[in-house]
Structure formats: C-alpha cells, structure tokens
C-alpha cells in the first residue's frame, strides 16, 4: 500500500507518519516539496509516487487571518483540493480530504450530520466548503472527513497554548459559550488508517472524539489532567475563568455550536471512539514519555 500525504509539517501528518501500519509505504511532502495550488506540481508528484491513497492534510488554518487573506485561503483550501482530486482521478488513486466543522453556521442544537446543509460564517469556512465542493465534483468517490478542535502532543494547538499560558500566568479567561468536541490527532490518524483499509467507503464523514465540551471545559480538563500526570507541577495554581465569546475579540465569527454526528463513521468503519477526556489523557501521557 502506497500512501502520499500533503502538509508534512502539520500535526496530523506527523501523527500519520508516527502511526502508519507496517505494510504501508508512506511519503509525506512539505509545501516546499509540493505546492498544492500548482496543478502541474500536483500532477508530477502523483505521477512520481503513484499512491494508492492520497491524504490531503495540507490546509490554511489561520481562521482570523483568513478574513484579510481570502485569496491565499481559497488557493490552499479550495484550489489545492481540486488539483489533488484531478490528479487522483487521472491516476486512479483514492483521495481522503480533511475538512472542518467550520462549514456549519453553529445555529443548530443537535449534532450536525454529514448530509446537513452547510453555511460557513467566515472566509476560512467558505474556503473549506469550496474545497469540499470541488473534490465532490471532480472525484465523487473521494472521502471527505470533517473534524474539529484538533490537537496533539506537538505543534501549535489549543492544548499546547493552554499549557504554556498556565506556566506563565495565574489567571486565564477561556470562552465558555462555544460548544464542540476536541479531537486528538491520535484518534484522527487511527481513523484515517481504518478508512485506508476500507477502499469501498466513500462520501462525507465526521470524526471527532466522543462527548461535548466548551473551550472552558477543555481548558479545565487540560489543567487537571496535566497536574495529575506531571506535565504541570503539582503546586501550579491557575484560576480559569469562563468568559463569553463577545469578550474574546477576534476577526472571524466562529460557530457557537459545532458538535459533529459520528454515527455513520462508527457504523461503516466498525470503530469505537474514545471520550475526548480519555483521548486528552493519552496525548498528555505522550508528552510525559517524550
């Protein structure tokens, strides 16, 4: 099995490289190796490596900056996936494309199903929605895997930012009125490899860990679990205060509710998803062991 992964330096691609099965020959390319916005480069790379499956983990993810960098966001998140889909179509390769909960407007009150209507609120979400549409148009048999609140032991993410701030400050205000589900890179990588092993599966799926949380809930859990595991010292004393989204000044509007329904993923892949707090404990344990 030959797998080609874009976005090598991102936290998901790193996890994929770490957890690949023994029978998989995986090549991960950085943006310097492969600019997904360049259709010629994409075709050359797919022709060179001849993957059975291409996993697109490359993305523009700066949600606030996207509001002023629309062209760049759409180039990477919409044009890039379209180029990859065309190359996969040409070379008869399978495509697994990673998308986001930001394609929804957050006005719902029950978990979003893959077939629910999308209505992104900002440029980042619009660019990811455009990427989904392009992939579906060019390569209907592709897998689009939406996820949310992704974090891992390494890289820039909410968990590592919170840990840094908890070492520097004695008080933190964290948004309590945005509800979703944290997703460990471990969960995401393991799910992707299960998808790879099931070539008959296609369409849109949702993947996060189980359960729901606010960013405040997530921060409190990070604090408690990190102290228990020794990632933070036992005498660390940080007061975490719940704040409203309006108190957190940002350029982009974020969905207030973006819990994703994973039932079709669980049923079609025959997997069981861990609760997000259990997954967090696993990631923090990795930090202890590394």
Q: Which of 206, 207, 224, 232 is CA-nearest to residue 277?
A: 224
- Cα separation, 207 vs 111, in Å, equals 12
- Cα separation, 91 vs 96, in Å, equals 15
Place of tokens 């993810």: 61
- Cα separation, 239 vs 234, in Å, equals 14
- Cα separation, 149 vs 180, in Å, equals 8
Helical H segments across the chain, by residue range: 11-19, 39-49, 70-74, 80-91, 123-138, 158-168, 185-196, 215-229, 263-269, 276-289
- Cα distances from 48 to residues 33, 51, 184, 194, 206, in angstroms, run 12, 9, 32, 25, 31
Does the annotation mark 216 as catalytic?
A: no
Q: Which of 60, 112, 124, 205 is catalytic?
A: 124
DSSP strand pairing (25-29 vs 53-56): unpaired
Q: How many CB atoms lie within 10 A of CB 261?
A: 17
Q: Write out the catalytic residue numbers.
A: 124
């Amino acid at each position: 099995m030959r797998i080609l992964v874009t976005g090598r330096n991102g936290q998901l691609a790193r996890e994929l490289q770490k957890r690949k099965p023994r029978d998989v020959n995986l090549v991960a390319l950085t943006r310097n190796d492969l600019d997904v916005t360049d259709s010629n480069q994409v075709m050359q790379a797919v022709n060179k490596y001849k993957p059975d499956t291409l996993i697109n983990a490359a993305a523009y993810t700066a949600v606030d900056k996207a509001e002023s960098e629309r062209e760049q966001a759409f180039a990477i998140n919409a044009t890039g996936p379209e180029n990859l889909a065309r190359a996969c179509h040409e070379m008869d390769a399978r495509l697994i494309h990673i998308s986001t909960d930001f394609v929804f407007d957050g006005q719902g009150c029950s978990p979003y199903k893959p077939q629910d209507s999308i209505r992104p609120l900002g440029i980042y979400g619009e660019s990811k929605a455009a990427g989904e549409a392009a992939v579906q148009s060019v390569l209907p048999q592709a897998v689009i895997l939406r996820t949310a609140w992704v974090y891992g032991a390494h890289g820039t993410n909410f968990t590592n930012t919170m840990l840094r701030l908890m070492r520097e400050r004695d008080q933190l205000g964290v948004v309590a009125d945005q509800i979703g589900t944290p997703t460990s890179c471990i969960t995401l990588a393991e799910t992707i490899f299960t998808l790879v092993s099931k070539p008959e599966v296609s369409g849109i799926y949702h993947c996060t860990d189980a359960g729901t949380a606010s960013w405040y809930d997530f921060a409190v859990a990070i604090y408690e679990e990190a102290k228990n595991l020794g990632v933070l010292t036992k005498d660390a004393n940080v007061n975490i205060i719940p704040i409203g989204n309006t108190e957190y000044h940002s350029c982009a509007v974020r969905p207030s509710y973006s819990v994703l329904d994973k039932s079709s993923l669980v049923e079609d892949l025959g997997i069981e998803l861990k609760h997000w707090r259990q997954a967090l404990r696993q990631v923090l344990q990795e930090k202890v062991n590394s």
